[in-house]
Amino acid sequence: MNDFETLTVDQVPDDAHILDVRDPYEFDAGHIPGAINIPLDQLPLRIEELDPDTDYYVICRTGGRSARATPYMEMHGYSAVNVAGGCGAWLEADKPLVSETGHEPIVR
């Protein structure tokens, strides 16, 4: 049982602030438009880049890293919601992805 909120990709609002905790090469290959990328291993060093008054929807590839990031963020006073299934579920739901590589977006 989790102590943090988890939503499906279909429950994420269109205007949500997305925090993608995947590594940069994964993010560059395909990510949600407008998402912020702070890899999970950098989150402790970079958490102050985030606004504590903003609700963040935290996503990774399949949901494991975001499930670790979400309680960490909440422990430090940030509002965070885990996105179940990650970018894989986002892609399956036919939601938009963009790529920084010049190729069709993919989920890594």
Q: What would the pLDDT profile of 15-29 be if each residue is shown by its tens digit?
A: 999 999 999 999 999
Q: Cα(78)–Cα(76) distance, rounded to whole angstroms? A: 6
In a domain, 107, yes or no: no
As a whole number, mean pLDDT of residues 75-85 equals 97
Q: What is the residue range of 22's domain?
A: 6-93
Give yes or no for a contact between 2 and 82, defined as CB atoms under 8 angstroms apart: yes
Residue 58 has φ and ψ, to the nearest 5°, of -95, 130
Q: Cα(70)–Cα(25) distance, rounded to whole angstroms? A: 21
pLDDT at residue 3, rounded to an integer = 76
pLDDT at residue 4, rounded to an integer = 85
In a domain, 53, yes or no: yes
In a domain, 108, yes or no: no
pLDDT at residue 2, rounded to an integer = 63
User: What integer best gives the mean pLDDT of the chain?
Assistant: 96
Q: Cα(5)–Cα(80) distance, rounded to whole angstroms? A: 8
CATH number where 86 lies: 3.40.250.10
Question: 1 pLDDT exceeds 70?
Answer: no
The stretches of 12-97 forming alpha helices (DSSP H) are 24-29, 43-46, 64-75, 86-92
Cα 74 versus chain centre, distance:
15
pLDDT at residue 37, rounded to an integer = 98
Q: What would the pLDDT profile of 38-68 be if each residue is shown by its tens digit?
A: 999 999 999 999 999 999 999 999 999 999 9
Catalytic residues: 60
